[in-house]
Structure 1
Amino acid sequence: MKIVIVGPGGIGSTFAFQLARAGHDVTVVARGKRLEQLRRDEAIVSAAGERAAVRVSAALDATTEWDLALVTVLASQVDAVLPALAASAAKSVMFMFNTFEPLSRLRDAVGSARFAFGFPAILATLDDGKLTSRIVARGMVTTVTDPAWAKVFAGAGIPTVVHQDMESWLRTHAALVVPVMVAVVTAHTRQAGVSWTEAMSLARAMEEGFHVVRQLGNTITPEPMAMLSRLPTPAVATLLWMVSRVEAVRKTGAAGPGEPRTLIDAIAAAAPGQTPALLAIRP
């Protein structure tokens, strides 16, 4: 398969590494320091020194008939690459990032026939251009809308399942992950876990987020998330208190507060005046 990955941060680099290792022809589109690193290495390089050769570009070639354009930028960055994706000859365009917004805008931009969405169950960081990642292999694994690409990803060592109602899935995930992200960013900044009082505030924000998802007519999905949404507030707070003390998770807080801010703003915009708990934890 001929695959281009737009946005080779930790997640995009993990996909590039795994897909290239599986024998696919992978090109990564990057910018700034990451572009310089990739041009120097001509490969995705792991922290252990393993290499997966990839092609490197500063822009998406609109004329190449990519089998897949995998877009792993942040939601706040997608508008900058959307025109190039819309004009590209890619046969499939899969967006893969946190978002709370309706997916119809992205579908309309690239055309429903080639639109796909997914979410990566991957913890990944880049330290001086070297990739450290952990691919979740059980439970909440990587989820996509397209069965054919689920098979390709699974074949490359990224266990993947299919979920057709991705908008409900993403909104559920946003409600869940925002308090987790805030906890992790806070813990990373102070190099210590959140307090119990902070954990309770984060738990109430999560409950509020789930309420908004239901109010908008979406389903809390998949079932493990539905089960979590039914837990009492102190139980959720305990989980958040514990997560903020896991070093491997805390390290991901180096990404900063930008993504949870964007998600909180999107949830608040979808339910004006109904998200005081979420706004209270906005970093």
Structure 2
Amino acid sequence: MVAEKKKIAIIGAGPVGCAFAVHLVKAGHDVTIVGRGQRLANLEENGGVQTKKSEKATEISKTPVKAVGSLDTSQLWDLILLTVTEHQFDEPLFATLKACPKTTEILFMFSTFASLEEYFDVLGKERCIMGFPAITACFYDRALVHKFLSFGQITIISSPKWRSIFSSAEIVCVHEPDMQSWLRTHAAIVVGFQSAAVAAAKRKSGVTWAEAQLSAGAAREGLALVKKLGNNITPKFIYYLGVAGPSFVLTGLFWVLTRIPAFRNNPQVLPNWEREMLGLAESILEAAPSDEDVRLIRQLKSKYV
């Protein structure tokens, strides 16, 4: 059990939200998942989150978790953890978050290229925590299979306090003070990475060199925009891969990755990665000072809409 029990609401009943819930409940925290549709119905029917160790495993465990259809804004939540995607942030959700007690902290676990000031202005900068989950997670026959990554890409968070709380719940994470730079860097590289994966999944084979060039060119264009907007390429190895290095390095990486069956056959690619990639591309387009800054990203997006 934890020394100080926290009252946490998780908005989003998808694999990522359920994975956080499992770890936080096992660490002794009071957790409520806010969901909708079939995922909410499954949680209510099961009385919590069902998990198993692998896709083919037959043994299923259950972690009891409260599940509701809407957030009770009168509750004294210590943390509201949002695991929905950027395009799901709408005016009703902002209104709900604003109605919560001022002592409630709000953690955004999402991908965006937009200025974080948009969220700070609405909710108050002192309440907002930014992060990004490094996790593989998917439902198989209504049971969650997941793993928080503990090397390479690790879950990051802008709050040292919550980094410590999550780490004690066996969610390996690190503190990142410059989340604006990190998120913009991540969005730029992910647009290239995911577009290559989506193209390969639809083709059911590796992409052509020209397709890899377009994905890599869009990523490099996004990274150049990160610098133009006054942010840093973070982490630094992305700078050497996507900015300082020759263009054929990133092109070659995408070309090779799409020839790995496990990469292009990932069940998250269609439709999840395609939807996320298009949302991030739109986020970059909206932030660009001019059309010339995002010519390749616009060209890439037009292939899918």
| Residue number in structure 2 paired with 1:212 | 225
How many pairs align?
Answer: 283
Matched ranges for 1:126-165 at <5 A: 126-165=139-178
| Residue number in structure 1 paired with 2:89 | 78
Letter in 1 for 2:269: G
Is the contact between residue 184 and residue 252 of structure 1 (CA under 8 Å) also seen in structure 2? no
* TM-score under structure 1 length normalisation: 0.94
Matched ranges for 1:1-283 at <5 A: 1-48=6-53, 49-79=60-90, 80-89=92-101, 91-229=104-242, 230-244=244-258, 245-247=260-262, 250-254=266-270, 255-271=272-288, 272-273=290-291, 274-282=293-301, 283=304
Runs of 4+ off more than 4 Å: none
Classify the secondary structure of the residue corresponding to 2:32. Answer: strand
Could you tell which deviates more after superposition, 130-139 or 1-10?
A: 130-139
Q: Note the residue ranges of structure 1 that are not aligned, 5 or more in a row.
A: none
How far apart are 1:256 and its partner, in Å?
A: 4.7
* TM-score under structure 2 length normalisation: 0.88
Identity %: 35
Task: Give CA deviations for 1:40-59 in whole Å, capped at 9, x if unaligned.
Answer: 11211124422221100000
Letter in 2 for 1:157: E
Letter in 1 for 2:146: S
- CA-based RMSD of the aligned residues comes to 1.7
Letter in 2 for 1:241: W
Task: Give CA deviations for 1:185-226 in whole Å, capped at 9, x if unaligned.
Answer: 233334333222211211111111101111111111122222
Letter in 2 for 1:50: S
Is the contact between residue 156 and residue 175 of structure 2 (CA under 8 Å) also seen in structure 1? yes
Task: Give CA deviations for 1:89-132 in whole Å, capped at 9, x if unaligned.
Answer: 26211111011111112122222222111011112222343212
How far apart are 1:248 and its partner, in Å?
A: 5.5
Task: Give CA deviations for 1:125-158 in whole Å, capped at 9, x if unaligned.
Answer: 2234321223210122111110011111111111
Could you tell which deviates more after superposition, 98-107 or 84-93?
A: 84-93
